[in-house]
Amino acid sequence: MIDFDSLKTENGLILAIVQDQLSKEVLMCAYMNREALEKTVETGIAHFWSRSRQQLWKKGETSGHVQKVKEIRIDCDMDSLLMLVEQTGGACHMGYRSCFYRKLDGKVIGEKVFEPEDVY
């Protein structure tokens, strides 16, 4: 359904917004290429494309904080995804449940659920 080759995005990447299926809390956003989306659909576990490492990564591969994908939606322009997930542990590599744990002024509003140095 998604034509990755014709996407007007960075190198055929599509933005994936990840949301907790029950609480509707936005947990994170990351990029997917065709392989990441196919692997996600095939396994039911979120996979993404790392722009910094230029490789596929399975969410939670190192930390154990996996995202079980319950539903994937696509926006009206077919250039971004919304993934509803069951989150194990924290979604943020900084130790928070959500990557959106601070306000624009820098005030931290989230609580850490793990210490990154214990996981990575």
Q: Tens of pLDDT along 50-105?
A: 999 999 999 999 999 999 999 999 988 888 899 999 999 999 999 999 999 999 99
- Assess if residue 55 is contained within a domain: yes
Could you tell me which residues are annotated as the binding site?
75-77, 79, 92, 99
Helical residues (DSSP H) of 19-119, grouped into ranges:
34-43, 116-119
Could you tell me which residues are annotated as the binding site for Mg(2+)?
75, 77, 79
pLDDT at 1 over 70: no
Full-model pTM: 0.90
Structural domains counted in the chain: 1
Q: Dig out the tokens for 45 from the structure.
A: 């576990």
- Assess if residue 120 is contained within a domain: no
- Assess if residue 17 is contained within a domain: yes
Query: For the range 43-47, what are the long-range contacts, defined as Cβ-Cβ under 8 Å and sequence gap of 24 or more?
Result: 44/68, 44/69, 45/69, 46/16, 46/18, 46/83, 46/85
Length of the chain: 120
Query: 42 near 48, Cβ under 8 Å?
Result: no
Of the candidates 77, 78, 4, 65, the one whose C-alpha atom is nearest the C-alpha of residue 38 is 4
The whole-number pLDDT of residue 76 equals 87
Could you tell me which residues are annotated as the binding site for Zn(2+)?
76, 92, 99
Q: What is the CATH number of the domain that holds 60?
A: 3.10.20.810
Domain containing residue 21: 13-114
Distance CA 95, CA 114 (A): 5
